């Protein structure tokens, strides 16, 4: 460890989500147990506050916090809309953020950062259910929907609830190394952090509900076995439809053509292998149904905008400031 003490200020308020606070705090505490030196403080205007569910948290008065803050973490909560209109809280949030090395949020905490003007002109994300609202309420923010977390300079915003753990692990990795982040993740029995650009949901989960049982069966079958030979003819047979009818119905119900859905499922499957193992790209391509590494490379560029090798590197080195 580098021996540098880094002060982390978690900002809460009435109705904040407990997991948004506890997740990152547990990550920093785990890093400390392995030799890091994070000093974590919890603050809110007026001091102690009740989180969602009614539990009461002891906290410092945010009005008394001054200087020395390395990282600001703003929690989310269902009451974010009212809190984002609290002029006093926003004033003190701007004040403590002014000299901080990095300013971050979990879930709907992004609305507080945006209301304080801290996300103007920046890329950001929040819980998937509120991305459209964030974009509408704060048009100066470039909202990146469906990402686990987004980094823009010293700013970092994460998606809903447990994504705060992913973000905190990325911060620990940046401050120290990937080995420490992996150790903390193992202690917490969580997946080592998901890459920031990774989707909040699986391809199958993002498909709109479909009425036809045969079509649902095909979607599930492809998701369960992406490496199978999924031609339109085979998918149509599974759906008990003619190939012509299937090719017409599928995009109208699913939103993408059959080949595009299969490609996205295979990219997701390959990404999982890249994240968790060291197999060569040819092996990963065969296991996920692409056949060749070059076919997989082109698919990754179309779907994710990054090569498989770049995706693997991004997973292991998060790059959060």
Catalytic positions are 107
Contact (Cβ atoms closer than 8 angstroms) between residue 163 and residue 150: no
Q: Which residues of 85-118 are buried (b: 16+ CB within 10 A; e: fewer)?
A: ebeebbebbeebbeebebbbbbbbbbbbbbbbeb
CA angle (278, 280, 286) in 5-degree steps: 115
Contact (Cβ atoms closer than 8 angstroms) between residue 272 and residue 287: no
Task: Identify the H or E element spanning 68.
Answer: none
The pair phi, psi for residue 42, each rounded to 5°, is: -115, 130
Chain center to CA of 166: 7
- DSSP per residue, 191-231: PSPPPTTSBSS-HHHHSPP---HHHHHHHHHHHH-TTS---
């Amino acid at each position: 460890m580098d021996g540098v003490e880094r002060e982390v200020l978690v900002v809460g308020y009435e109705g904040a989500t407990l997991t948004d606070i506890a997740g990152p705090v547990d990550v920093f505490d785990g890093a400390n147990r392995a030799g890091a030196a994070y000093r974590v403080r919890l603050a809110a205007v007026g001091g102690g506050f009740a989180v969602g569910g009614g539990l009461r948290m002891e906290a410092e008065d945010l009005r008394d916090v001054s200087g020395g803050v390395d990282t600001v973490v703003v929690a989310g909560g269902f009451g974010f809309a009212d809190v984002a209109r609290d002029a006093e809280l926003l004033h003190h949030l701007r004040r403590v953020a002014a000299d901080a090395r990095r300013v971050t949020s979990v879930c709907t905490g992004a609305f507080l950062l945006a209301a304080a003007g801290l996300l103007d002109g920046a890329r950001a994300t929040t819980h998937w259910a509120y991305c459209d609202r964030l974009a509408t309420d704060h048009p100066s923010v470039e909202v990146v929907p469906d990402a686990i977390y987004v980094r823009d300079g010293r700013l970092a915003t994460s998606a809903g609830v447990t994504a705060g753990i992913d973000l905190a692990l990325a911060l620990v990795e940046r401050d120290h190394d990937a080995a420490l982040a992996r150790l903390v993740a193992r202690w917490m029995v969580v997946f080592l952090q998901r890459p920031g650009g990774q989707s909040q949901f699986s391809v199958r989960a993002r498909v709109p509900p479909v009425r036809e049982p045969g079509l649902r069966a095909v979607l599930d079958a492809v998701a369960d076995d992406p490496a199978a030979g999924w031609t339109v003819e085979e998918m149509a047979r599974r759906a008990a439809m003619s190939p012509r009818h299937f090719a017409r119905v599928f995009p109208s119900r699913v939103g993408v053509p059959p080949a595009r859905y299969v490609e996205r499922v295979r990219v997701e499957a390959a990404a999982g292998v890249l994240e968790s193992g060291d197999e060569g790209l040819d092996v990963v391509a065969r296991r996920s149904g692409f056949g060749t590494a070059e076919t997989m490379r082109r698919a990754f560029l179309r779907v994710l905008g990054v090569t498989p090798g770049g995706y693997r590197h991004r997973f292991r080195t998060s790059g959060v400031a």
